[in-house]
Amino acid sequence: MYQAPRGTSDILPPEQGYWSYIKQTAAAICDLYGYQRIDTPAFEDARLFVRSIGEDTDIVEKEMYSFEDKGGDQITLRPEGTAPVCRAYVEHGMHNLPQPVRLYYMAAIFRYERPQAGRYREHHQFGVEALGDADPALDAEVIDMAWQLYVNLGLKGLTLSLNSIGCSNCRPRYLESLKAYYTQHKESLCPDCKRRLAKNTLRLLDCKNPTCLALTEQAPRSIDYLCPECADHFDRLRSYLNLLNLPFSLSHRLVRGLDYYTRTVFEIAPEGETGSQVAIGGGGRYDNLIEQLGGKPTPGVGFGTGIERLALNLKKQDVAIPNSPPPTVFVAYLGKEAKDEAMKLTSRLRKSRISAIASLSERSLKAQLKQANISGARYAIIIGEDEVKSKTVVLRNMAKGEQQTVPIDKVAEALR
RNA sequence: GUGGGCGUAGCCGAGAGGUUUAAGGCGCCAGGUUGUGGCCCUGGAGAACGAGGGUUCGAAUCCCUCCGCUCACCCCA
């Protein structure tokens, strides 16, 4: 027996309500904020991700779905959404458009990981990217969008964590002092962190190992090392967030797992969540990324949110989802001639924009009405030999249990 | 990659070495008189118990391996 590959899943009809609710809410927010949709390929040149995400990140080190295609090209299934959008920005000369360029995407994301609650090998993200403007007001706009999305979806108890990790001018100095600090305590670090110390110092802040965690309490904070420009940017961002009534808390340990971030980083999580995959979304600024990918120096800021995790949290919080409407009518019949009439009638109803299911079986009327009941149709239409002769149908209101005979060419009118 | 829990029909779920030719419930199908649903009643289909190997006179029930699911760690959405 075949099964969906590990870490992937089929999204069955009962689940779809959550998905369309989330997608529609997200798209509506984007319309409201003037963000336009972009779709990029599911796979890209592997180097795009290695260069943007960073060689020493977990994603690149062990999680990418990479392969050589038959033409000998190194291909990677998209493990995140930002780099492809930036690639498209450069490729299509979007720097010629009015800046910033505001884009959003909904896409499948692939990472080879051990699946667990809220973590899959294929998951789906909604994300936005605002490219071509370094103003902190744009950071605030993006954070505001993320927040409003969650609020509009009906999620409660949200917390916004914020940090600034500086830019290429001030970060080296910070990293130096961070490295110096941890080197002093090298002996008490966990093995992972010893390794990270040399390669990816920032990530030590993220370690949940108790002894590392204790060290982190006293570790130098990135916001104390910001250059004047970054400090100003961060100050102004915070004042904009206050202006927009977005409550945030500073988190000095928040660094994010992708190398391209500069200055602003943030995460949003539902309150009271424990465990490691608490964040339903996050993002930040990446002012060097587009240049790294071969474009003109272009700042950018964005966020991404996991649709599966949103659905999970909507369920956890018992948020009511609008359900898809059942068909208006179910057409049942008895006999061959009646079936012909039923087929024609169903077709005409649909042309009048009335949703209709025809019972295609030759089963008993009783069985057909049972199906009508399960389908949730508001009306059942019954066509038998008598009705064929008199060119009428029986129109039955399922909820009331009442029925009337109407001329077959007046059915659409009777349903209005 | 590491560690824990689990694996019986579409779903839930009894059974824990021998009246099991594997309960029960949901769902599905068909009947309960002639052309009518939602309740009720009756009947039916559907699993050799994740796969393979072993222990035993005998295994869904014990052991081993593998696969899968799940939770946690790492990390992330």
Tell me how far the alpha carbon of residue A235 is from its chain's centroid. 29
**Rounded to 5 degrees, what are φ and ψ at A413?**
-65, -45
CA of A200 to C1' of B21 (A): 65
Above 70 in pLDDT, residue A276? no
Instruction: Name the pLDDT band for A272 (thresholds 50, 70, 90).
Output: low
User: For residue A63, what is the DSSP state?
Assistant: I
CA of A3 to C1' of B15 (A): 28
Q: Which nucleotides of B are covered by protein (CB under 7 A)?
A: 1-3, 28-31, 35-38, 68-77
Q: What is the pTM assigned to this prediction?
A: 0.92
Tell me how far the alpha carbon of residue A269 is from its chain's centroid. 14
Name the nucleotide with the smallest C1'–CA separation from A334. Answer: B35
How far apart CA A175 and CA A238 sit, in angstroms, is 24
Above 60 in pLDDT, residue A281? yes
Looking at residue A274, its pLDDT comes to 47
Name the nucleotide with the smallest C1'–CA separation from A333. Answer: B35
Q: Which of A360, A403, A361 is nearest to A378 (CA)?
A: A403
Average pLDDT, chain A: 91
CA of A396 to C1' of B9 (A): 37
Instruction: Name the pLDDT band for A213 (thresholds 50, 70, 90).
Output: confident
CA of A15 to C1' of B49 (A): 30
Element (H, E) at A355: none
Query: How far lies A315's CA from each of A15, A154, A414, in Å?
Result: 11, 11, 39
Name the nucleotide with the smallest C1'–CA separation from A120. Answer: B77
Query: In this structure, are residues A93 and A75 in contact, taking their beta carbons and an 8 Å threshold?
Result: no
Q: pLDDT, tens digit, for every residue of A286-325?
A: 999 999 999 999 999 999 999 999 999 999 888 988 888 8
How far apart CA A62 and CA A244 sit, in angstroms, is 40
Name the nucleotide with the smallest C1'–CA separation from A274. Answer: B72
Query: In this structure, are residues A303 and A281 in contact, taking their beta carbons and an 8 Å threshold?
Result: yes
Secondary structure E strands in A22-166: 36-37, 43-45, 66-68, 74-77, 101-110, 122-131, 158-164
Q: pLDDT, tens digit, for every residue of A331-350?
A: 999 999 999 999 999 999 99
Protein residue nearest nucleotide B28, by CA to C1': A371
Query: In this structure, are residues A240 and A136 in contact, taking their beta carbons and an 8 Å threshold?
Result: yes
